[in-house]
Structure 1
């Protein structure tokens, strides 16, 4: 029963997120195909795990590769050379093979291929969740919060692949876009993993961890924009200035909003991790209750300021385009 519980905790959050995106695509593919791609994604996760083991075994024959994971430069190198390329490569193969099979019978829309990419990425997440939970190296809360991350990584090449494969005239520039988008995904994958491990080090490297949630918030914004584009909708515009000075000002506001909003989420995540071991009776102790309410208020203020900046930018863009 414990193993079944682990499988459910590993699979249900990614499946719920897949359902969320499925309901938002106007002409979504049949849901059984998405479940098949989800399974392909889980299989690609095990394949990536095996390839990483082979890579590290071979690399250890050449250099002391095992020790690279304990130093920051080594972690960056490992993420860029091993983890990012292998995991994004396995997900790409898991999308391309069934997509080409389906294309022999059906005319796939860009939105369908993009949704296939999300399904594979979330299946990969489910496999990763199970590994972490089975070995006890991460909590259920950590894995639930990390549910969308692989989908955020793979969104650029999923969009490029959708544009290329669904086109009746396949241009070389669209093919090159896939390579560039895949490389972008590898870099983002490596950057997120490096920032998430920065807290293990002493100051000032520890401060790099405060860039994690702003980066994830920007990646979430990017996947939302790409989802609109593959459905033929206009992207949401927040940079609308007519002069370079105005555009620089707006970009600065966007960066400030991402920092505030991302670290508001980071603060809530840290608060949840802090209070999760406490019992219900301890939560209502005066000191603990004041700590919870004060942290909630601070992070809520940050989030509201970030939202107001966003609404100001959206209002400015509508005014410019009227």
Structure 2
């Protein structure tokens, strides 16, 4: 029974997110087909886990790979040469193989292939959630917060693959873009895992962790922009100034909004990690309640400032075009 509850906790958040994107795309493929890709993505997660075990076994026979991975540079190297390439490679294969099969029978739209990528990434996440929860190395709260991360990683090559496969006339330039988009995903994957490990080390290295959630927020923005593009919708414009000075000012505002907005989410994440083991009676004790209130209020203020900057940039862009 406990194993079933862990499985449900691992699978339900990715499935809910998949349903959210399914209903947002008007030309989405059937839900049954997306669930098939979700399952294939989960299988690819187990394949990636096996390949990583083989890689580390071979690497340990050549160098002291485990000892190297205890330092921050060693973690960065492991993410770039092992974790990122293997996991993004398995997800890419999990999208391409079934897509080629369906492509023989149907004319797939770019949005469909992009959704296939999201479904595979979320299936991969469900498998990863189950591994972490089963081994007790992460909480349900932590894994739920990380639900969209693999989809954020895979968005660039999912978009390039979707445009290439979904075009009536195969665009060779997008075929050439797929490898570079995949490499972009590998680098982003490695960077996120690197930043998420930085908090374990003493200052100033620990300060690198404050770049994690702003970077994730930017990747979420990128995923949303690419989703609009595969549906032939105009992208949302934030940088609209006609002069270099104005455009640099707007870029600075975007960066500032990402920093405070991302760290508003980071603050809520840290607060959730602290209070998740507490009982209901402890949550309403004066000290804990005041801590929750002040942390939530601070994060809310940062989030509101980031949102106001976003609305200001949107309005500025509209005035430029009308």
TM bin, normalised by shorter chain, reads over 0.9
Shift of 1:84: 0.2
Shift of 1:64: 1.1
Q: Distance in 2 between matches of 1:125 and 1:66?
A: 25
- Could you say what the CA RMSD is over the residues aligned between the two structures, in angstroms? 0.7
- Listed one character per residue, the Cα deviations across residues 274-297 of structure 1 (whole Å, up to 9, x for unaligned) are 111221112222222111111111
Q: Distance in 1 between matches of 2:216 and 2:65?
A: 29
Q: How does 1:303-314 map to 2 (within 5 A)?
A: 303-314=303-314
- Tell me, yes or no, if structure 1 residue 280 matches structure 2 residue 273: no
Give 3-state SS (helix, strand or coil) of 1:48's partner: helix
Q: Distance in 1 between matches of 2:137 and 2:288?
A: 27
Q: CA contact under 8 A between 2:198 and 2:206: conserved in structure 1?
A: yes
Structure 2 match to 1:23: 23
- Tell me, yes or no, if structure 1 residue 48 matches structure 2 residue 48: yes
- Tell me, yes or no, if structure 1 residue 291 matches structure 2 residue 291: yes
Q: Distance in 2 between matches of 1:66 and 1:280?
A: 41
- Listed one character per residue, the Cα deviations across residues 45-94 of structure 1 (whole Å, up to 9, x for unaligned) are 00000001111111111111111210011100100000000000000000
- Listed one character per residue, the Cα deviations across residues 166-190 of structure 1 (whole Å, up to 9, x for unaligned) are 1232233111111111000000000
Structure 2 match to 1:196: 196
Give 3-state SS (helix, strand or coil) of 1:147's partner: coil
Give 3-state SS (helix, strand or coil) of 2:69's partner: helix
Q: How does 1:70-81 map to 2 (within 5 A)?
A: 70-81=70-81
Q: CA contact under 8 A between 2:164 and 2:172: conserved in structure 1?
A: no
Q: Distance in 1 between matches of 2:240 and 2:68?
A: 44
Greater CA deviation, 264-273 or 286-295? 286-295
Shift of 1:102: 0.4
Q: Distance in 2 between matches of 1:164 and 1:62?
A: 40
Greater CA deviation, 302-311 or 55-64? 55-64
- Tell me, yes or no, if structure 1 residue 268 matches structure 2 residue 253: no
Structure 2 match to 1:116: 116
Shift of 1:6: 1.1
Q: Distance in 2 between matches of 1:309 and 1:234?
A: 21
Q: How many residues align?
A: 322
Structure 2 match to 1:141: 141
Greater CA deviation, 63-72 or 22-31? 63-72
Structure 2: unaligned runs, 5 residues or longer: none
- Tell me, yes or no, if structure 1 residue 244 matches structure 2 residue 281: no
Runs of 4+ aligned residues of structure 1 deviating over 4 Å after TM superposition are none
Q: CA contact under 8 A between 2:42 and 2:124: conserved in structure 1?
A: yes
Q: Distance in 1 between matches of 2:242 and 2:236?
A: 17
Q: Distance in 1 between matches of 2:135 and 2:288?
A: 31
- Listed one character per residue, the Cα deviations across residues 98-118 of structure 1 (whole Å, up to 9, x for unaligned) are 000001100000000000000
Q: CA contact under 8 A between 2:213 and 2:262: conserved in structure 1?
A: yes
Shift of 1:265: 0.3
Greater CA deviation, 116-125 or 162-171? 162-171
Q: Distance in 2 between matches of 1:58 and 1:284?
A: 52
Q: Distance in 2 between matches of 1:260 and 1:222?
A: 18
Q: Distance in 2 between matches of 1:244 and 1:66?
A: 49
Give 3-state SS (helix, strand or coil) of 1:96's partner: helix
Structure 2 match to 1:234: 234
